[in-house]
Structure 1
Amino acid sequence: MRGLSLIVASGDGARLYAALETAMAAAALGGRVRMFVQGEAVALLRAPAGFAGDAARRAAGQPDLAQMIEEAAAMEVELIACQSGLALAGLTAGDLVPGARMGGLVGFLAAMDDEERLVAY
């Protein structure tokens, strides 16, 4: 399976959740998956992770955002937090959820190969 790179550019927790679902599905199919969380969206990676939709998801028997991030990391989905987004949110790398690392958009794009797909949320 071709690799998949995802960019999450919105601070909407539902978008990050959907991107994680897509990332995990691609990882389950054997593809390399990377997520770049950009701008205001980086605040969603503050430990402990969560968003307003978590209670409804738990009530429906679905994992919450923190569980999704943990499961994605266990599936080797790379989670990269934008350096500029960290500054915007007043965060440091130490504030991030386990498994997330800091990086820049140029490095993220430079690491793509010619066969990799790019999706933005």
Structure 2
Amino acid sequence: MHELGVVFHIIDDLKVVADENNIEKIEKVTVELGEVSTVIPHFLTDCWKWASEKQEFINGTELLIETIPAITECQDCGKQYGTIAHGRICPFCGSEKTYLVQGNEFLIKEIEISE
């Protein structure tokens, strides 16, 4: 389960932001998670609950996850399609010359603090 490592990375990034901005407590964190990012949302949430309890500045902080759909584009016909539904092979022309346009991201989108 690499989600715990991902959570530790998020916490490290949040700590830098908190220190640079004199933030004592973060109330909510929103992350964007691609459908094919290899991070499993419910594992991430479970790891977050465990790890955030050990850091005062994020103890009780809500973690929100927004899913970024996986989209693939075909190099032969130029059309885009849902990666999860069709995989690597273009459903329009049958080409295997495709590439992922979006859907493997993992980003901290928003941090909310109390005033």
More strand by share: 2
TM-score range, shorter chain: 0.3 to 0.5
TM-score w.r.t. the length of structure 2 is 0.32
More helix by share: 1
TM-score w.r.t. the length of structure 1 is 0.31
